[in-house]
Amino acid sequence: AQSVTQLDSQVPVFEEAPVELRCNYSSSVSVYLFWYVQYPNQGLQLLLKYLSGSTLVKGINGFEAEFNKSQTSFHLRKPSVHISDTAEYFCAVSVSGGYNKLIFGAGTRLAVHP
């Protein structure tokens, strides 16, 4: 079975500082990986996804993530955060050919302070 672990439940950071949100997954088969963002009182929105090809994936709002198969990780990074990046971030995995079902991590709350 697949699982996703987000290692930090909360990440406080100052505006314009870099940030990394960590995600590890477990699976015995090939997977697709996703990062979603949830702003307060809104639904989830896709930030980026890895399906195949280049292991460095760029998404919206200046975020990027790197797929590391040997470490089974898919960490999310941004070189300089803004107040508006304050939100909950979810890492998710789906099994290729597996009905598009996503397994979500518990989420990481990013709090950007001025």
Partner 1 sequence: DAGVIQSPRHEVTEMGQEVTLRCKPISGHDYLFWYRQTMMRGLELLIYFNNNVPIDDSGMPEDRFSAKMPNASFSTLKIQPSEPRDSAVYFCASSQINEQFFGPGTRLTVL
Q: Which residues bind partner 1 (CB under 8 A)?
A: 32, 34, 36, 42-46, 49, 51, 90, 94, 99-102, 104, 106-107
**CA–CA separation, 14 and 83 (whole Å):** 9
**CA–CA separation, 95 and 32 (whole Å):** 6
Least spacing, CB of residue 114 vs partner 1, in Å: 26
Which of 28/52 has CB closer to partner 1?
52
Which of 15/104 has CB closer to partner 1?
104
Angle, alpha carbons 51-47-35 (nearest 5°): 65
Q: How far does Cα 24 stand from its chain's mean position? A: 10
Least spacing, CB of residue 20 vs partner 1, in Å: 21
